Amino acid sequence: MVNSEGLEWNGNMHGYIWLSYAYVKQYIPDCWIMIMGGGSDAPVITGCTRQDTGIGYLVTISGTNFGSFRRSAGVTINGVRPWLYMTWTNESVTVSVPYCVTSDPVVLYNWENAPSNSVPLEQ
């Protein structure tokens, strides 16, 4: 949904307003969803690599349908949330994690908390 105030409204959201069905249905009894383009919108991880930084790892996750803005989306590595999200795009996420987070699996959750496939953390 795009608001009527223009692209500068709402900061780095560039004029977009994000409403999930789970949120809207609380206030609108007859809510419906229009699906465009078909196919699943769940995130899909196609690759995951880590790089030693000297103080931990930078983990780069690649794939599709991550969402262009992080909002409440997230990543878990062996069930643990990363230290810091460095970058987040629809196709790539880079996170900083401590050395102790080295086990599999890696799972990404989109802003509606839909989980991706799980993948191993590659070196």
Cβ burial, residue 22 (10 Å; 0-12/13-18/19+) = exposed
Largest CA distance in the chain: 54
Half-sphere exposure of 97 (CA within 13 A, CB side): 26
* Residue 113, CA distances (Å) to 18, 57, 70, 109 in order: 14, 25, 11, 5
User: Tell me, what's the pLDDT at 17?
Assistant: 61
3-55 tens-digit pLDDT: 445 555 445 555 556 666 666 667 666 655 554 554 567 899 999 999 999 98
User: Tell me, what's the pLDDT at 82?
Assistant: 79
Give the residues across from 106 on adjacent strands. 77, 119
Q: Pick the closest to residue 121 from 96, 98, 103 (CA basis).
A: 103
